[in-house]
């Protein structure tokens, strides 16, 4: 079974630029989550999808952030006009959609550095 | 509101010692799930265990064991005979139930465990 994959693993960008990250979940996992993790902290929830529908967004997800999962398979997270405060590890996780008991399996993350 | 507290920021033990990582949670829900994840230096979060609020049985898996006590809202994790490979940051997380079945995780701030050879 292939795990969750994320691309790229590292991204360095200049302030003001747009960046896009991709997440490929475990096949047949209906739910896909995005989290952000800053240094010394636990991951913080950003948003999640049930198939292609985006069902919940955290208040952390400002207007500069947008996420899509167009065909219910892979997902993209775009950050527009990046700021230095966006520097973090962006984690993707997936789970099967059976109630709330399902375990989320995480990808390796994309580390974003905004200069 | 939900909250997960891991009061131990860093712990160091000598190899083969036992170590317990503490986790205290807050939730108003009667249905919820608790998790432990390991984050080694490589950065990827590795799932260790899931426990639901209706099952207070302790669990043992090899050198790992978990003690869930609803009376004290705690879900502690013990590693027996620690090994250098256990060195990592360990996160406790809470997932609450709701009608949509949403289960985004609320994480604690983690405990960094260093096992000294």
- Which neighbouring-strand residues pair with A53? A50
Chain A residue numbers touching B37 (CB-CB < 8 A)? 106
Please check whether residue B96 touches A, CB under 8 A: yes
Digit-coded pLDDT (tens) for B50-64: 888 888 888 888 999
Helix, strand, coil percent values for chain A (each to nearest 5): 5, 50, 50
Name which residue leads in pLDDT, A55 or A111: A111
Please judge whether A45 and B33 are an interchain contact, meaning their C-beta atoms are less than 8 angstroms apart. Answer: no
Please check whether residue A97 touches B, CB under 8 A: yes
| Closest CA–CA distance from residue B15 to any residue of chain A (Å) | 24
Please judge whether B33 and A56 are an interchain contact, meaning their C-beta atoms are less than 8 angstroms apart. Answer: no
CB-nearest to B100 from A33, A35, A55 is: A55
pLDDT band at A3 (very low <50, low <70, confident <90, very high): very high
Digit-coded pLDDT (tens) for A30-46: 899 999 999 999 999 99
Report yes or no: B78 and B65 within 8 Å, Cβ to Cβ. yes
Residues in chain B with pLDDT < 50?
99-102
Digit-coded pLDDT (tens) for A57-114: 888 888 999 999 998 899 999 999 999 999 999 999 999 865 555 789 999 999 999 9
């Amino acid at each position: 079974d292939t795990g969750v994959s994320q691309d790229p693993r590292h991204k360095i960008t200049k302030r003001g630029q747009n960046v896009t990250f991709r997440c490929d979940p475990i096949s047949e996992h209906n739910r896909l989550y995005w989290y952000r993790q800053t240094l010394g902290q636990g991951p913080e929830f950003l948003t999640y999808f049930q198939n292609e529908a985006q069902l919940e967004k955290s208040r952390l997800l400002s207007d500069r952030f947008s996420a899509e999962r167009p065909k219910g398979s892979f997902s993209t997270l775009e950050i527009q006009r990046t700021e230095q405060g966006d520097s973090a590890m962006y984690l993707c996780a997936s789970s099967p959609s059976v109630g709330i008991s399902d375990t989320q399996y995480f990808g390796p993350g994309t580390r974003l550095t905004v200069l | 509101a939900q909250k997960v507290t891991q009061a131990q920021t860093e712990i160091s033990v000598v190899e083969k010692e036992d170590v317990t990582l503490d986790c205290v949670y807050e939730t108003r829900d009667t249905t919820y799930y608790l998790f432990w994840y390991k984050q080694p230096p490589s950065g990827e979060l590795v799932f260790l265990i899931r426990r639901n609020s209706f099952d207070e049985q302790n669990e043992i898996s090899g050198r790992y064991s978990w003690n869930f006590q609803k009376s004290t809202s705690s879900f502690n994790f013990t590693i027996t005979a620690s090994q250098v490979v256990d060195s990592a940051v360990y996160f406790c997380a809470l997932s609450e139930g709701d009608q949509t079945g949403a289960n985004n995780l609320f994480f604690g701030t983690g405990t960094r465990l260093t096992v000294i050879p």
